[in-house]
Amino acid sequence: MVCIYCGGNTRVTNSRSSKKNPGIWRRRHCDNCNAIFTTSESPDLSVSISVIKREGSLETFSIDDLYVSIFKSLSHRREALNDARHLTNTITTKLLAECINGAIKIDALKIVCLDTLNKFDKAAATYYSAYYPNKPN
Ligand SMILES: [Zn+2]
């Protein structure tokens, strides 16, 4: 990657992957102007995960939809916005691990959400299963 200030060559002086987020953070140093800046990389989840629906069709995974579903389940909590953001990251990391050939079944996705919510807040898990019942409709 080139320097954001002068366009010179940069090298990575430090990098760290995050346990909570499926991304990596890098500190870069420009050999030309000595600027130091950080970059972060994260997977483009919309193209990384396909969701297999019950009837067999594929749908592109949407982290926004996931966030909304988690936020709805947490709406009784005072820190719902923050909690939903953290849980969405946790769930996304788990989904990436559960994917087979880049795809995950909708029921498996819901189980990951439910398990994660259940460990965090039992009431939220109850709300989630009421909003998104895990049975054929
Ligand atoms: Zn530079």
Environment of ion ligand 1 (residues, CB < 5 A): 3, 5-6, 8, 30, 32-33, 35
137 pLDDT higher than 70: no
Phi, psi for residue 90 in degrees, rounded to 5: -60, -45
Report d(CA 76, CA 33) in Å as an integer.
51
What confidence tens digit (pLDDT) does each residue in 47-81 have? 789 999 999 999 999 999 999 999 999 999 999 99
119 pLDDT higher than 90: yes
What does the DSSP assignment read for 36-85? EEEEEE---HHHH-EEE-TTS-EEE--HHHHHHHHHHHTTTSTTHHHHHH
Q: What is the mean pLDDT of the chain?
A: 91
Q: How far is the CA of 36 from the centre of ligand 1 (A)?
A: 8
Reported confidence tier of residue 135, pLDDT bands at 50, 70, 90:
low
Report d(CA 71, CA 14) in Å as an integer.
34
Q: Give the residue extent of every domain in the chain.
A: 10-41, 45-131
Q: Which two tokens stand for residue 121?
A: 């807040």
20 pLDDT higher than 80: no
**Of 13-27, 85-99, 102-116, which gets the smallest average pLDDT?**
13-27
Q: How far is the CA of 43 from the centre of ligand 1 (A)?
A: 26
Q: How far is the CA of 40 from the centre of ligand 1 (A)?
A: 18
Q: How far is the CA of 12 from the centre of ligand 1 (A)?
A: 13
